Homo-oligomer: A and B are copies of this chain.
Amino acid sequence: MSVLFENACAVLMDEKNTVLEGAFVAVEGDKISYVGTDRPQGTFDQVIDAAGKVLMPGLVNAHTHVPMTLMRGYGDGNNLQDWLTKFIFPVEDKWDCRAIHSATALGLAEMIMSGTTCLADMYMFCDEICQEVAAAGINANIARGVTAFDPAADFSTWTSCVETRELVDKWHGYNNGQIRIDACLHGEYTSFSAPQLWDSVAQYAKEKGLGMHIHISETKTEHEECVSRWGMTPVQVMEKHGLWDVRAIAAHCVWTTQDDWAIMAEHGVSAIHNPCSNLKLGSGVAPVIGMRKAGINVALGTDGVSSNNTTDLFEDMKIAAMLQNGVEHDPLALLPSDALRMATVNGAKALGRNTGRIAVGCDADLILVDFDHINLMPRHDVISNLVYAAHGCDVSMNMCRGKVIYKDGEFLTIDIDRVKHEVKEYALPLLFG
């Protein structure tokens, strides 16, 4: 299958943040095969006229928990402890495979329609999540969250570890890399009883060549309790246990220190900034400027829908851009182009993927944003409009790995009416009935 975009205003996300007017972008199979202002040779199975639209790399949502879409707004207005123990945990106990399927499909649909082409998920029931990802056509790094409150937990028999190994065997590398499995610790604060697992998980990741996904220093309490337990911050503890010896994504990093940043930069650990979640839950404002200056790759995530409460990454991108300016009292603290890089090319780097840019050889993960919408007029600065003025609903097409999966409000890989019906008739009564 080959596709040609013509008449595009293409935002390449190269090092110069080039915006190429009158661009032709060709796709061959699942890769971008041509970028330029001259029409490429040859014929194409499909020609897409991008006049009036901006063609850009799809967004990378580098930290989320897709099935939690069904908990949107559930228990909002309670303190964190009550919210978790009285609302979220009791519901999570009720999941079954069928409910996970429909919840995941609904969550993926929301991401796809708002321009995400790649995500990093951490949750449970990951085989079911992989099945839905495979069917939807979106790219994903999937991680089974490993927690352990039992000091005897052992990597060879501990359920979440066993599931991780099964996932790797079944799904890692699926469809030429559409799905990858990351190794995972949920966090220090949910596994400190069994630190032997940390070594095992790190060792396993190295053996299998996997990435690592972990929550780090999201809240002040989590950070400080770790320091009082070990005399070290979460970043430092995990360094000692080898979790940073592979490509790793550290979600949140709100309370990380300068010393932590040096460790993260040295090991190439990416920080995943989740501004909506951190603000809404009262966790704080992550030190994005400091981390960037320390040389850390900072990418962007929405976190789960129960703590955001959407997965429209355009919104997190805008808030990320504005928030640092506001708290630093500097209108140039984080430029629109910086925020756009966080949501594209930095996310790709964090997830170990060849996406997030429009360049020959990259995965053909592309979206069209309709600049004929009133909120995007006039167009003095394409990147500024994308970051500060665009919403997810301005996305008119989503292509993942060369395949159009969403176009003009229609899902081409998800039977959205069936999903809505399943959510309403089965999953919601199961979880909340």
Contact = CB atoms under 8 A, between A and B. Distances in A.
Contact of A331 (B280, B329, B379, B392): B280
Interface residues of A, number: 71
Contacts of A74: 380-381
A110 B375 contact: yes
Contact of A393 (B72, B279, B380, B391): B391
Nearest to A87: B380
B329 A220 contact: yes
A336 B74 CA distance: 13
A70 B378 contact: yes
A379 B432 CA distance: 12
A297 interface: no
Interface stretch (A43-51, A187-195, A234-242, A281-289): A281-289
A388 B335 contact: no
Contacts of A121: none
Among A322, A381, A428, the one with the most B-chain Cβ atoms within 10 Å of its Cβ is A322
B113 A389 contact: no
Interface string A402-433: 00000000000000100010011000100010
A77 interface: yes
Count copies of this chain in the complex: 2
A73 interface: yes
Interface string A364-387: 000000000011111111001100
Contacts of A327: 285, 327
A354 interface: no
A135 interface: no
Contact of A76 (B78, B308, B384): B384
Contacts of A428: 378
Contacts of A278: 326
A332 interface: yes
Interface of A: 70-80, 83, 106, 109-110, 113-114, 220, 276, 278-285, 305, 308-310, 312, 315, 318-319, 321-323, 325-333, 335-337, 374-381, 384-385, 388-389, 391-393, 416, 420, 423-424, 428, 432
Q: Which 3 A-B pairs have the closest CB atoms?
A: A279-B326, A73-B384, A279-B322
